[in-house]
Structures are given as structure tokens and as C-alpha cells.
Amino acid sequence: MADNRENKISETDGAAKRIALEKKDITKTYLYWQLFHRISQCFERYYGLGTCITLIPILKKLYPKKDDLSKALTRHLQTFMTDPGFGSAIIGLVAAMEEQKANGEEISDEMITGIKSALMGPSAGFGDALNSATMSSIFRALFIPFAVAGSAAGLLAAVCIFLWFNAVSYFSIHFGYSKGKSQMLEMLHSGKMKALVMGASVLGCFMMGVMTTSYVKITLVPEWTLSTGSVLNLQSTIDGILPGILPMGLTLGCYAYLRKGGKIIYAIITTIIIAVLGAFVGLF
């Protein structure tokens, strides 16, 4: 009889210790996201600092101990950049993962950061295309004629864009949290989480490759006229062997340097110096 009472007491204590996020917590996170998401931007972390600030309210609730809170804040200081509208769904999903982690589920730091890194690219591509390119243009097209005619109704374009972005962000963060919370435990218990993290990591690497070829441009200028009269272009020759090897080499070189504790500012300065010297001698 005494053992049964002790078991009931321990079960009650265990249940009481479980920390659960409420709808108001997610709504507060949404407000923080809107206010602080882009409060700071740098080439090393982009919006990582703003994302960390966004998550402070729920992280304080989930991790009462200072050491646990410090670790949680640190892992969310990593590089993060996505669409402010649909990208808030990632924040909702991360909130669900942090809630499960705080309550003892086997969710590693790498799982959380991996999911963030993998989803921020697709979310940015989809969100920028729909929000910034499509909906914003539609609202401007609707109300610019009023502005041209001198009507104050032209101001409604800015109001509609503001309301659209906020509505998308609000519903996205709640959607991300609710779906993440309902599916996370199922995936953990079924063993699918490792497969998800692996897939997310592969997707993240794929997106980095796409971004490298899109934004890192290196073109070699030297070319020689052969005795046959044909022109040998160094850049074309290298592209014929392995297209994109120079941008990839520069990207991987910077990555290896930063992984060893190098400073981003030194990497930028070195790249600029090499570019200037290369252009001076006619290499680029």
C-alpha cells in the first residue's frame, strides 16, 4: 500500500515537472520575431543574433537552469537567414523541438541546428517569391494608380503589405509549432528522426552548393593563341575539366579556415587582397 502511494507521488511529481509551452508563448515569440528578427546583420551570422533574441522568452521558460539556458542561447546564435513571413514556421518548429528536448526527449543540438539550416533556404526561396515578388507587386499595382491621382488611398499599398507579412508570419509560426509538436514525438519514437536529420543535412549541403555557384564568381582572364591559330582560354579549359571548381575551392577554403577558429574579417580582407592583386597582374 505504501509502495503504491510512493509510486503515485513520484508520478505526480514527474508530471508536474514537465514544462509545456502555451499558445501565448508562441504568440509572444511571433512578436519578438517581428521586432527583433533583423535587428542585427553581419556576414558571419546574418540574422543569427535576432533569431536568438526571438527565442529568449520560450528558452527562459524551458530552461530554468542558467547553464542549460546558456547552451540553448549559444546554439541559436549560429548563422540564420530566411524569409520573415513563411520562415517563422521554422521558429515554431524549433520551439516544438526545444520543448521536447527540455522534457527529456533525445533531441541533440545538431538535430535542432540541422533542421534550421536545412529549411531556411527553401523557406527563403518560396517566401521571397510569393511575398516580396508577387504579393507586394500586386498590392502596389492595385494602389499606385490612386497615388498617381493624388489620392491618399495610395497609402493603402503599404498598409496591405504590412498586414499581409504579419498575417503570414503569425499563422506560419503557430502552424510550425503545432505540426512540429504533434509529429516530433512520433518521429522520435519511430526512429525516423535520424533519417530526417540526415535528409535535412543533405538538403542543407545541396543548398550551399546552389548558393556557391550562384553568388561566388571567379573568372580567369588569361588566354593564348596557339600555333594552329585557335585560342586557348584558361577559364574555358578549367570549366571543361570540372565546372565551378574555382568557386567551390574558394568556398571550401574559407570554410576550412573558419572551422579552425579563423576570423571572418581576415577571410574577407585576404579575399579582397587576392582579388586586387590578381586583377593587377591580369589573372582575373
Residues 102-149: tens digit of each pLDDT: 988 888 888 888 888 888 877 887 888 888 778 888 888 888 888 888
Question: Which residue range(s) make up the domain with 253?
Answer: 218-280
Q: Which of 107, 108, 121 is nearest to 79 (CA)?
A: 121
DSSP 148: H
Strands (E), the chain: 223-225, 231-233
> Are 232 and 197 part of one and the same domain?
no
> Are 22 and 158 part of one and the same domain?
yes
> Are 135 and 248 part of one and the same domain?
no
Residue 131 C-beta-side C-alpha neighbours within 13 Å: 21
Which has more pLDDT, 212 or 2?
212
> Is residue 1 very low, low, confident or very high in pLDDT (cuts 50, 70, 90)?
very low
What angle, rounded to 10 degrees, do the helices at 264-280 and 245-259 form? 150
> Are 198 and 222 part of one and the same domain?
no
CA distance 26 to 8: 32
> Are 53 and 159 part of one and the same domain?
yes
Is the pLDDT at 223 greater than 60? The verdict is: yes
Of 175, 208, 241, the position where a domain reaches its end is 208
- Quote the cell numbers at residue 254: 574559407
> Is the pTM here over 0.75, yes or no?
no
> Are 148 and 261 part of one and the same domain?
no
Residue 262 C-beta-side C-alpha neighbours within 13 Å: 15
**Residue 135 burial by Cβ neighbours in a 10 Å radius (0-12, 13-18, 19+):** middle
- Is residue 175 one of the residues assigned to a domain? yes
List pLDDT tens digits, range 247-267.
889 989 988 998 888 888 888
CA distance 217 to 211: 11
> Are 197 and 137 part of one and the same domain?
yes
Contact between 177 and 96 (Cβ < 8 Å): yes
CA distance 62 to 156: 41
Angle at 59 between CA 168 and CA 47, to 5 degrees: 55
CA distance 128 to 121: 11
> Are 166 and 272 part of one and the same domain?
no
Q: Please give the tally of structural domains in the chain.
A: 2
- Is residue 94 one of the residues assigned to a domain? yes
> Are 72 and 186 part of one and the same domain?
yes
Q: What are phi and psi of 260, to 5 degrees?
A: -85, 5
Residue with cell 533583423: 38
| Interval 216-237 mean pLDDT | 84
- Is residue 98 one of the residues assigned to a domain? yes
